[in-house]
């Protein structure tokens, strides 16, 4: 789905960038003179100033990048930035709301890593790709986030598979409401119970799309 004008205005074309140290940063955190790359297509970004002197990122060269055309891809990177900031202790908490249930704050102290476009084998013949996966210190999944324009017709039956709407993420990236009635994420459940029934370690099939 294309990106609505209000989201475009709020997040600009490119909401965040990869800094030279590989960290994901906002335009406000960018250092002028440093090189910055697009987190989606990995091409060079320029740091520019708006008429109101607010910094923003734009692709240096005109290229076709999904970040500028897909609300799902934009939401993925907005959420990545929000989660990264929060993990560093400098942003508002992110809450999860299972389908029609009460909200939980994500267990920040348990999250050690965020992986983008993470491949998860749920069956010997079936691999799912999450947009963002939150992993604990052992690399085990706490939450797999899938961003969608429309809900799945057949939901994934997995307790830590969180299906969210791109539109809702862009409107409020601090509250992740599940579209999936089978999701029953709870911070009171030990992380181990969120695992698949396979023996760890799970094959990591990460790839960049």
Closer CB to Zn ion, 67 or 82, in the complex = 67
**CB of residue 67 vs Zn ion: minimum separation in angstroms?**
5
d(CA 101, CA 159): 14
Half-sphere exposure of 172 toward its Cβ, with a 13 Å CA cutoff?
A: 9
**CB of residue 117 vs Zn ion: minimum separation in angstroms?**
14
From the list 160, 146, 144, 170, the residue with the least C-alpha distance to 81 is: 170
For 19, the token pair is 């800094």
CB distance 72 to 166 below 8 Å = yes
Closer CB to Zn ion, 18 or 179, in the complex = 18
Closer CB to Zn ion, 8 or 155, in the complex = 8
**CB of residue 144 vs Zn ion: minimum separation in angstroms?**
24
Looking at residue 123, the DSSP 8-state letter turns out to be E
**CB of residue 76 vs Zn ion: minimum separation in angstroms?**
12
Closer CB to Zn ion, 131 or 144, in the complex = 131
83 CA to centre of own chain: 7
Binding site for Zn ion (CB under 5 A): 38, 40-41, 65, 67
């Amino acid at each position: 789905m294309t990106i609505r004008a209000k989201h475009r205005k709020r997040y600009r074309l490119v909401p965040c960038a990869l800094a030279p140290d590989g960290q994901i940063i906002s335009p406000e955190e960018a250092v002028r003179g440093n090189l910055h790359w697009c987190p989606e297509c990995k091409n060079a970004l320029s740091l520019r100033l708006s008429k109101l002197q607010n910094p923003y990122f734009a692709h240096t060269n005109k290229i076709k990048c999904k970040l500028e055309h897909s609300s799902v891809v934009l939401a993925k990177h907005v959420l990545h930035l929000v989660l990264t900031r929060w993990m560093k202790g400098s942003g508002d908490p992110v809450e999860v709301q299972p389908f029609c249930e009460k909200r939980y704050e994500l267990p920040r102290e348990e999250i050690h890593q965020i992986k983008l476009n993470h491949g998860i084998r749920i069956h010997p013949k079936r691999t799912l790709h999450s947009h963002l996966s939150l992993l604990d210190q052992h690399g085990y999944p706490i939450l797999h986030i899938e961003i969608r324009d429309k809900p799945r017709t057949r939901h994934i039956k997995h307790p830590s598979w969180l299906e969210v709407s791109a539109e809702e993420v862009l409107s409020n990236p601090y509250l992740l409401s599940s579209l999936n009635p089978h999701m029953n994420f709870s911070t009171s459940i030990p992380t181990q119970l969120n695992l698949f029934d396979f023996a760890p370690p799970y094959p990591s099939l990460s790839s960049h799309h």
